[in-house]
Every structure is written in structure tokens, then in C-alpha cells.
Amino acid sequence: KFYVHDGISFDKTKDGVWLDYKYALENNIKVNDKVSIKYDTLDLEKEVLGLIYVPDHVYDVKDASELYPNKKDFGYAYLSSNELKDYVLSKNMTDIPFNRMMIKTNGNREIVKDELNKILTGNYVITDVEDTLSYKQYQGEINEGKTYVGVFSGLFLFIAILSVITTMNRLIKKERTQIGTLKALGFSNFRVLTYYIGYGFWVSLFGSIAGILVGYYGIGKLFISIEMDFFEVPNGSAYMNPKSYLVALLVVIIISFITYLTGKKILKKNPAETLRNEIPSVKKGSLNFTKKSIFKKLSFQSIWNVRDILRNKSRTIMGVIGVTASCMLIVCAIGMLNSMNHFIDLQFSKLYNFDYKLVLDSNITNENIEEIKKTYGDYSSETINVETVIDNNKENNTILV
């Protein structure tokens, strides 16, 4: 169905035209303006009755020569078939030669296709709506987005959680003496532990709320506006998935729980022990490991670093994973740009051995084709839509001749 952005709904009895909203916007055309329509011998000047979106034109390009929609130069218009009666009579036709039929099914599509194949004759193709250009392009964008959600969101959340956990661990260990003092003054373990859990809880809670707000009102709306420049969707706007709230809550719970475990470990010790600086836990095996021949040529600072790594395995693992994930994101971003530039150079500079491509109308005459061949050369091709059937499995494909 049409989605009318401005003007009146479609009515075949009305004398006027319904115009592509994006095209009208780019060319400053408004409802009640006059537009000229020319096709073959048909020459009309019609009033714009409405500005519309149409599902057939979610991804709307002129032909295969365009990669991206160019709404300044190309759009679509709808008008009543009653407007074509004089044109049909001038061509000595008995009726309007419609070239497309849209069918809505309530049952098995394959059964409907088989019935249509019994009725139709001549050259025709039966296409599922999922195989139309607009549907395929938009669905491809959705599938791409699902991949981003899993990979990038997961990496960012993981890095964020590692960062906060490392910070809270360090904070609690740094305030070891203050914890011992509070315990010596009579503060209960529960009271001290609640304070540090609260610290981790509030930091993660404020961060999660800020992330949701910036994600929705900032980054989300920015990305959607870019997408809607590419596609024509009337209700294209940022949407907050309820799972986002669940993920934010999960982050808060994880960080609060890790803070609880870290604080509980220190609070197990008595006040006198807590007041003293923490004695590093050094295992004899790790010391012997750094005395082996492989380390003998290293400087004292390097050996010291190796022993620190062996003593703080969890923190080392967190640091390595965090840096790895961050570098991976950077490599992916730069690599994607390089890959696209390489593809464009390969496709259009090396594989294509021509500079221009003429796209011909389907109703062009043989005389016109011969004239074009004499002027520009006879390197021509035709793309034909076909349906392939292999063991009762049907697919819509194209053949390049």
C-alpha cells in the first residue's frame, strides 16, 4: 500500500499524480504543484495530489548502473490508469498492456505458482516478494546489523566490564589500611562491604543509564538517519530493544558481584592483619622459573616484570584480552575501509575494461540498437530474469547473455 506523507490518499477517479516523497523533497516539489510527465508520445501536465512512500521502492535505483539511490535525479510517480486511455487509443490498442501483477496468497506459495504456470503463456517470471530488489537490499542490511550487534556490542561490554573490575580490585587493595582502621573502630564487615558494593553499583548504574541514553538519542538516531538516506522507510526511527535494559541490568549485577567478592576476600582478615601492607604472594615455582637459562640474559627490570605477571595472572589475562579486543576493533575498522577501496579498484579499474555503460530501455527498437552499435561499438549484453528448477527446488536467478 501507499503510505501518504502529505496530500490525499490514492483515488483512481482523481486527475493528478502521486509523487515520490524523497524525490519531491530533493527537488522542492510540494502538493498542488504542477509536474510534466513524458513517455513516448504521451505528454501530460498534472497536479501533485500526494507525496508518498511505496514498499516497492524502499531501495530505489534507476538501473544496474547505479549503486546508491540518487533522489535528485530519479524518483517514481503513480497515476490512475484512466489517464492512459487516450494514449492507448492513439496506439490502436484495445486495452492497457499491464506488465506486472501482484498476488497475495493465504496458503502454500508453490501451489499458487503451479496453478499460475498452467494459466500463463509466453515469457513471464513469477517472483517471491523476498526476491525483489527492495526487500533483498533491506533484509541484507538487517542481517548485517545482527552481526554487528553480536560482535561489537559483546566486545565493548566485555572491555567495559574488565576495566571496571580491574579498577575496583585496585581501589579496594589501595584502601586496605582504611578498611583495617574502620574494622578496628568497630564497623561491621557488612557495613564496610556494603559501602564498596555500593561504589561499584552506582558507578556501573550511572554508566549503564548514560550508555542507554547516548545510544538511543545520540548514536542510534545518527545511524538511523544515515540508513534512511539510503532507504525509503516512512517510519524509520531509532528503536530501543527491551533486551538493552536487560543487558544494562546484567552489567550492574556482574560488577556489583565482583566488587562483593573482592571486598569479602579482604574482610576475612582480622583488623591487625588488614592494617599492615599486603605481602605479595610469591610462589617458589615462579621464582625458580625466572632463574632458568632463558631469563638469565634479561635485565633485572624485565625479570621483575615477568614475576609480576606470574603473580597477577587474572589481572594479566584481563589486560591482554582488553588490549587484544581494542586492537581487533581498530584493525577491523581500518581493514574494512582498505577492503572496500581494494574492491572498487579491482572491480572498476582492473576487471572492467570500459569507461562507460549504456543502459537501454526494454522497448528499444532494433533500428535504434543498430544505430547505437555503429556509434559506440557492438559490445552488448542482456540480463534476463529466469526461474531455475532443480529437483523441485525453484530459485529466481539472472542470466547474462
**pLDDT number for residue 50:** 95
**pLDDT number for residue 210:** 93
Contact (CB, 8 A) for 179 and 352: no
Cα(382)–Cα(364) distance, rounded to whole angstroms? Answer: 13
Q: In degrees to the nearest 10, what's the CA dihedral of 386, 389, 395, 398? A: -30
DSSP letters spanning 119-130 = H--SS-----GG
Helix H or strand E encompassing 399: strand 393-400
**pLDDT number for residue 172:** 79
Cα(174)–Cα(400) distance, rounded to whole angstroms? Answer: 71
Alpha carbons within 13 angstroms on the beta-carbon side of residue 202 total 5
Paired with 400 in beta bridges are 383
Residue 169 — left, alpha, or beta (φ > 0 → left; ψ -120 to 50 → alpha)?
alpha
Cα(173)–Cα(278) distance, rounded to whole angstroms? Answer: 8
Strand 17-20 to strand 42-53: parallel, antiparallel, or no bridges (unpaired)?
Answer: parallel
**pLDDT number for residue 98:** 83
**pLDDT number for residue 291:** 66
Radius of gyration, alpha carbons of the chain:
34
Residues 180-200 as b/e (b if ≥16 CB within 10 A, e otherwise) read: bebbeeeeeeeebbeebbebb
Residue 122 — left, alpha, or beta (φ > 0 → left; ψ -120 to 50 → alpha)?
left
Return the residue matching grid coordinates 533500428: 367
Contact (CB, 8 A) for 203 and 163: no
Cα(51)–Cα(17) distance, rounded to whole angstroms? Answer: 9
Return the residue matching grid coordinates 497475495: 104
**pLDDT number for residue 289:** 62
**pLDDT number for residue 255:** 85
SS3 275: helix
Q: What is the mean pLDDT of each run of 10 residues along the chain (401 residues)?
A: 92 92 95 90 90 93 80 92 84 82 85 87 83 89 84 79 78 81 84 85 91 90 88 88 90 86 78 72 61 69 75 77 83 88 87 82 84 86 82 81 88
**pLDDT number for residue 275:** 75
Contact (CB, 8 A) for 204 and 255: yes
**pLDDT number for residue 288:** 63
DSSP letters spanning 195-255 = HHHHHHHHHHHHHHHHHHHHIIIIIIHHHHHHHHHHS--TT------HHHHHHHHHHHHHH
Contact (CB, 8 A) for 20 and 71: yes
